[in-house]
Amino acid sequence: MSEQRALPQRLLALGATSAIAEATLRIFAERGASLVLVGRTPHKLEAVRDDLLTRGAAAATAIVADLDDTAAHPALLAQAVEALGGIDVALLAHGVLGDQAHAERDYAAAEAVLRTNFLSAVSLVGWLANYFEAERRGTIAVISSVAGDRGRKSNYVYGASKGGLNVFLDGVRNRIDRAGVKVLTIKPGFVATPMTAHLEPNALFAQPAEVARRIVRAIEQRRDVVYVPPIWAAIMLAVRAIPGPLFKRLNL
């Protein structure tokens, strides 16, 4: 389907205080959407909610939750469905970059990255897939990363969590697209956010507002996989094309 649809009006944001989620939510708020915002830190969540209500959100409910706690997911998601009277779009935006060097020394650090970025998403998307499949509509939009396209020594634990997520989303899409449910994998490159504040900015860094505009467009256009900004599709095509024997010698 290629026609543009009106932007969905009921949105659940998981990890709503992440910079990319917040910028995306501002666009939905300005169009008068109803929102449920899930985040870990109460005062941050409150600031985001106030901003979205000021910008025009019809409603914004804040729920404080640690998404690592997968046992709490079913109740949390049911609460969100009830607050909104049904969900049109679920946006998964929570995640951690982790510390690669630490994860190499300490399995617990690697496991924490996998739990937050991958296992919690498996739990959340699993529930949401069943919910939307029964409704025969809806969109699950998940912020993954270009880092999941190929493992590199500088961040392969983070990359593996996102790579696993990408494969999982491919499978869910294959299962429920035919039921009218869109599964959107969003692969940002460098984005200027608190997560990347320790990195030296370069010409490839995108602003969250620009990334958000592209995410909203991808939701409207019912895309499957989107690189943001699109230059990353070409960059990652090239990165994936490097032959293994050469790739293993590179410092990436």
Partner 1 sequence: MTMGKRQKRPRFESWGRFPTLQAKVVPLHWTTDFPLSAAPAAKQLPVGLGRSYGDVCLLENGALLATPGMDRLLHFDPATGVLRCEAGASLQQILDFAVPRGFFLPVTPGTKFVTVGGAIANDIHGKNHHVAGTFGRHVLRFELARSDGSRFVCSPVENQEWFAATVGGMGLTGLITWAEVRLRPIVSRRIDYRGVKFHGIAEFLELSRTSANEYTVAWIDCVSTGKNFARGIFMRGDHTAIPGPLKRSKESKLVFPIDLPAFALNRWSMKAFNSLYYHRQIGQEKAGPVDYEPFFYPLDAVQRWNRIYGRSGLLQFQCVLPRESGESGIVEMLKMITVAGLASFLAVIKVFGDVPSPGMMSFPAPGITLALDFPIRREKSFDLLDWLAKITQECGGRMYAAKDARMTAEQFQAFYPQWQEFARYIDPGFDSAFWQRVTGRRPRDE
Q: Do residues 72 and 79 touch, judged by C-beta distance below 8 A?
A: no
Give the separation between CA 207 and CA 214, rounded to whole angstroms: 11
Which parts of 54-83 interact with partner 1 (CB under 8 A)?
A: 54-55
Q: Is 4 an interacting residue with respect to partner 1 (CB under 8 A)?
A: no
Q: Is 42 an interacting residue with respect to partner 1 (CB under 8 A)?
A: no
CA dihedral 62, 68, 74, 77 (to 10 degrees): 30
Instruction: Spell out, one character per residue from 173 to 192, where the chain touches partner 1: x when CB under 8 A holds, - when not.
Output: ---------------xxx--
Which is catalytic among the residues 107, 131, 156, 158? Answer: 158
Q: Do residues 149 and 233 touch, judged by C-beta distance below 8 A?
A: no
Give the separation between CA 93 and CA 141, rounded to whole angstroms: 9
Query: Closest distance between partner 1 and the C-beta of residue 51, in Å?
Result: 4
Interface residue with partner 1 among 50, 82, 104, 106 (CB under 8 A) is 50
Which parts of 213-232 interact with partner 1 (CB under 8 A)?
A: none
Q: Is 158 a catalytic residue?
A: yes
DSSP output for 117-185? IIIHHHHHHHHHHHHHHHHT--EEEEE--GGGGS--TTSHHHHHHHHHHHHHHHHHHHHHGGGT-EEEE
Interface residue with partner 1 among 196, 217, 223, 229 (CB under 8 A) is 196
Q: Do residues 195 and 213 touch, judged by C-beta distance below 8 A?
A: no
Helix (H, G, I), strand (E, B) or coil at 72: helix
Q: Is 44 an interacting residue with respect to partner 1 (CB under 8 A)?
A: yes
Nearer to partner 1, 199 or 237 (CB): 199
Nearer to partner 1, 115 or 150 (CB): 150
Give the binding site for partner 1 (CB under 8 A). Answer: 19, 43-44, 47-48, 50-51, 54-55, 97, 100, 145-147, 154-155, 158, 188-190, 194, 196-201
Catalytic positions, please? 158
